[in-house]
């Protein structure tokens, strides 16, 4: 029988293992709630909005509460920050002794719940820089490269926990029959090459030029500059997209766009981009804004947004080159003459 998560965590420092185990238990209970769908009376929206003004799903609130309870139960966690809460939370019992901070998106992709599409929980573990004092927002604002661990649980046909403590990426599948996470991939790697990309094409008119060029070249297929046909996906659930990339490669893009020039992207750096970038880099992939490694960004605020381009290294590096190209797009006609989706004249 493959090792359990508990056995795998035996190789990690005990305090960190305790935090991961608490998160895994919360994810197991969230998986049960998600799998029951409307039967758990957890479908539909709360009659309130979260800190970003977004409608909150009942499952968002359930997941947020369950993870907060799990973290409060670990004496190693001084505090946490959630997508669903404007400010960080100090642990009642451990704020002045816990050595870790945890940042999480309790239920990413939750607008897909009624459609029964895979959703997930994303988490990031940081060292509390001022251990011995109750954590404030400043202690959380660390670059992703300082993460001690990061992971996600994807609630899909199977519930899978993908985790890194800084020495590669492992995947554990939940066996609900025995209520145990079993190691099912000991070393997850992102294939360096791919012919698949994921982007919300409805935003095409707003994208920055290097992304316009990259996608146009992919869509041009064998007749175009890439001399290869590409496939496209968009699930609108980042956890599901990243999990697909870990299973067969690909590039996920939520780029800077000028739909809302003040917002550099849709995804938040602390609990979406940075933990996913940590996992992707640990698995041999790349994760950038287009001009900078995501793990090098020092957040100014807890809910800061950032452009995200991540996945198979060779494709991400190509997109970075396009961002660095001072003549971007001036030398390739498709971008200049017609929209991506209008067939060539004649
Ligand atoms: P929700 O959690 O509100 O469903 O948003 C999911 C998400 O943050 C990320 O998981 C998706 O990749 C992205 O938003 C989808 O954004 P669009 O709805 O603009 O495609």
Containing domain of residue 294, as a range? 196-328
**Nearest-CA residue for atom 6 of ligand 1:** 109
Asked if residue 63 and residue 27 are part of one domain, the reply reads yes
Residue 214 belongs to a domain:
yes
Arithmetic mean of pLDDT over the chain: 92
Q: Specify the 3-state DSSP secondary structure of 7.
A: helix
Asked if residue 41 and residue 127 are part of one domain, the reply reads yes
Q: Provide the pLDDT for residue 328.
A: 61
Kindly indicate the confidence band of residue 48, based on its pLDDT and cuts at 50, 70 and 90. Answer: confident
For position 174, which CATH number holds?
A: 3.30.540.10
Cβ 125 vs Cβ 254: under 8 Å: no
200 Cβ below 6 A of ligand 1: yes
Asked if residue 209 and residue 177 are part of one domain, the reply reads no
Say if strands 231-233 and 196-198 run parallel, antiparallel, or are unpaired: parallel
Residue 261 belongs to a domain:
yes
Asked if residue 94 and residue 181 are part of one domain, the reply reads yes
Query: Which of 259 and 314 is assigned the larger pLDDT?
Result: 314
Ligand 1: centre distance to CA 329 (Å): 28
Asked if residue 228 and residue 108 are part of one domain, the reply reads no
Closest CA to 122 of 135, 136, 103, 139: 103
Asked if residue 305 and residue 175 are part of one domain, the reply reads no
Phi, psi angle pair for 88, to nearest 5°: -70, 160
Residue 78 belongs to a domain:
yes
Cβ 198 vs Cβ 241: under 8 Å: yes
What is the tally of structural domains in the chain? 2
Query: And the tokens for 326?
Result: 């001072």
Asked if residue 64 and residue 181 are part of one domain, the reply reads yes
Beta-bridged to residue 260, according to DSSP, are: none
pLDDT digits (tens, 9 = 90+) for 167-207: 999 999 999 999 999 999 999 999 999 999 999 999 999 99
For a mutational test of ligand 1's pocket, the pick from 121, 200, 254, i.e. the residue with the most ligand atoms closer than 8 A to its C-beta, is 254
Q: Provide the pLDDT for residue 45.
A: 78
Residue 128 belongs to a domain:
yes
Distance in angstroms (rounded) separating the CA atoms of residues 245 and 32: 25
- Domain final residue, candidates 153, 185, 217: 185
Asked if residue 223 and residue 155 are part of one domain, the reply reads no
37 Cα distance to chain centroid: 23
Asked if residue 44 and residue 159 are part of one domain, the reply reads yes
Q: With 60 as the cut, is the pLDDT of residue 223 above it?
A: yes
Cβ burial 266-288 (10 Å sphere, 16+ → b, else e): bbbbbbbbbbbbbbbbbbbbbbb
Residue 9 belongs to a domain:
yes
List % helix, strand, coil for the chain (3-state, nearest 5).
35, 25, 40
For position 268, which CATH number holds?
A: 3.40.190.80
Residue 48 belongs to a domain:
yes
Tokens 């969230």 — which residue?
Answer: 30
Residue 191 belongs to a domain:
no
Residue 134 belongs to a domain:
yes
Asked if residue 212 and residue 168 are part of one domain, the reply reads no
Asked if residue 155 and residue 19 are part of one domain, the reply reads yes
Query: And the tokens for 24?
Result: 């895994």
Asked if residue 147 and residue 17 are part of one domain, the reply reads yes
Say what percent of the chain tops pLDDT 90: 84
> DSSP string spanning 199-245?
--GGGGGGB-HHHHHHHHHHHHGGGSTT-S--EEE--S-HHHHHHHH
Give first-to-last CA distance, the chain, whole Å.
62
In degrees, to the nearest 5, what angle opens at C-alpha 116 toward C-alphas 110 and 118?
60
Closest CA to 34 of 112, 113, 106: 113
**Nearest-CA residue for atom 2 of ligand 1:** 109
For a mutational test of ligand 1's pocket, the pick from 54, 83, 84, 236, i.e. the residue with the most ligand atoms closer than 8 A to its C-beta, is 236
């Amino acid at each position: 029988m493959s090792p359990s998560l508990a056995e795998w965590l035996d190789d990690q420092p005990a305090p960190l293992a305790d935090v991961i185990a608490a998160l895994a238990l919360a994810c197991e209970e969230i998986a049960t709630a998600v799998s029951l769908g409307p039967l758990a009376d957890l479908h539909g929206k709360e009659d309130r909005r979260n800190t970003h003004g977004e409608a909150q799903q009942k499952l968002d609130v359930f997941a947020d509460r369950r993870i907060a309870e799990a973290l409060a139960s670990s004496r190693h966690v001084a505090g946490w920050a959630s997508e669903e809460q404007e400010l960080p939370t100090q642990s009642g019992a451990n704020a002045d002794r816990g050595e870790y901070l945890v940042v999480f998106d309790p239920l990413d992709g939750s607008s897909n719940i009624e459609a029964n599409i895979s959703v997930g929980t994303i988490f990031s573990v940081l060292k509390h820089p001022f251990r011995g004092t109750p954590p404030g927002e400043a202690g959380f604002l660390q670059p992703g490269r300082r993460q001690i661990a990061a992971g996600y649980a994807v609630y899909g046909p199977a519930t899978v926990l993908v985790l890194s403590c800084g020495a590669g990426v492992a995947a554990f599948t939940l066996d609900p029959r025995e209520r145990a996470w079993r190691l099912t991939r000991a070393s997850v790697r992102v294939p360096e090459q791919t012919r698949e990309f994921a982007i919300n094409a409805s935003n095409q008119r707003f994208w920055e030029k290097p992304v316009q060029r990259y996608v146009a070249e992919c869509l041009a297929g064998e007749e175009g500059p890439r001399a290869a046909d590409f496939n496209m996906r968009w699930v609108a659930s980042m956890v599901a997209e990243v999990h697909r990339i870990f299973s067969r490669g690909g590039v996920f893009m939520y780029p800077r766009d000028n739909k809302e020039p003040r917002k550099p992207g849709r995804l938040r750096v602390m609990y979406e981009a940075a933990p996913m970038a940590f996992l992707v880099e640990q698995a041999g992939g790349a994760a950038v804004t287009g001009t900078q490694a995501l793990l090098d960004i020092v957040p100014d605020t807890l809910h800061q947004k950032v452009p995200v381009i991540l996945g198979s290294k060779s494709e991400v590096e190509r997109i970075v080159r396009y961002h660095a190209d001072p003549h971007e797009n001036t030398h390739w006609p498709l971008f200049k003459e017609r929209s991506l989706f209008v067939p060539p004249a004649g």
